[in-house]
Amino acid sequence: MSSVRAVKTLLGIVRGRDALILEQVLVSMTPRSLRLRGTVDLALCSGTRPSTKDCEADAEVAFEIDCTDVLAFKFEELDFTDGSPFADSSIVEVTGSPWLDHMASLDSSDKVSKEHRHYEVQTYDDVVSVVCRSLTFRTYEGDSEAETPKR
């Protein structure tokens, strides 16, 4: 049986479909990666705010989510999703994922590793589901960059 676990980012837990506004999706085939770009509403994050002189409670900052060693992804408009639970976080890891288990059962060339995970990212308009080796969340303000620690 699958369940979801909130992914803690450098901004803490990102909560609510209004928290992430997706503006761009970049796919690379070599290496197989996926990059999501947009803005994050800091008022909907549980952690500390990035240090900036102009950072207010309702401020937004640019973000990137990088997924590496991608084996599969699905991009759906929010109204057409199956209603997966995102109550705890806009970014979740699906544990016990039937999708990942199915991929592993078909894998005859050892592409699915123990490090691969199924993540789902819910944005204002879209849900992105991805099976990848790692997911990294970064924010950008001017020339500064912060990164979620890798597990």
pLDDT value at residue 149: 47
Cα separation, 31 vs 123, whole angstroms: 25
Read off the pLDDT of residues 115-134 as tens digits, 9 standing for 90 and up. 999 999 999 999 999 999 99
Cα separation, 12 vs 7, whole angstroms: 8
* Tokens linked to 29: 């085939």
Cis amide prior to 98 (ω within 30 degrees): no
pLDDT value at residue 110: 95
Cα separation, 92 vs 135, whole angstroms: 11
Residues ≥6 apart with Cβ < 8 Å to 124: 17, 18, 20, 21, 22, 78
pLDDT value at residue 117: 97
**What are the sequence ranges of the domains in the chain?**
3-140
Cα separation, 62 vs 93, whole angstroms: 22
Residues of the chain with confidence (pLDDT) below 50: 143-144, 149-151
